[in-house]
Amino acid sequence: MSFSSPQHQVEITRHIMRVLDEWELPGKDIIKLLKLPSKVRLRNLDRFRDGEAFPESQQTLECIEHIAGIADALRTSFPRNAHMGILWMHTPHRRFQNQPPLTVLSEQGLKGLRMVRSELDCAFSWDDSLK
């Protein structure tokens, strides 16, 4: 996955920041989760919200893809009430050793993104059940 144009990069960045803000993920966890370069500081996050695109790296793009997939799956799971998706992200879940999905993302990074997305999106991990 790569960005097609600078404007598209900005739109994706704003969307992902909006999702992470809705989930109430702390800034330090946003930087860590997106695998942003070490030069990115907390104060830089406002620039991403205001129109600067994320640095383009393969790791960041993979994380963005999973975050967008999780957000989309939450919209599908809770089509009438977007707040329920946010609540789901904060509620302890038996499949995650009674940890909230947000904690799994924060603590396990890309692996956590895959775990949460697999729980929500059967189309994402359908072939895992064949193994």
How confident is the model over 49-101, as pLDDT tens digits?
A: 999 999 989 999 999 999 999 999 999 999 999 899 999 999 999 999 999 99
pTM of the model: 0.90
Give 123's contacts (C-beta < 8 A, 6+ positions apart).
none
Q: Cα(131)–Cα(125) distance, rounded to whole angstroms? A: 11
Closest CA to 73 of 60, 58, 89, 92: 89
* HSE (side-chain half, CA atoms, 13 Å) at 51: 0
Write a three-state SS string for 94-125. HHHCCECHHHHHHHHHHHHHHHHHHHHCCCCC
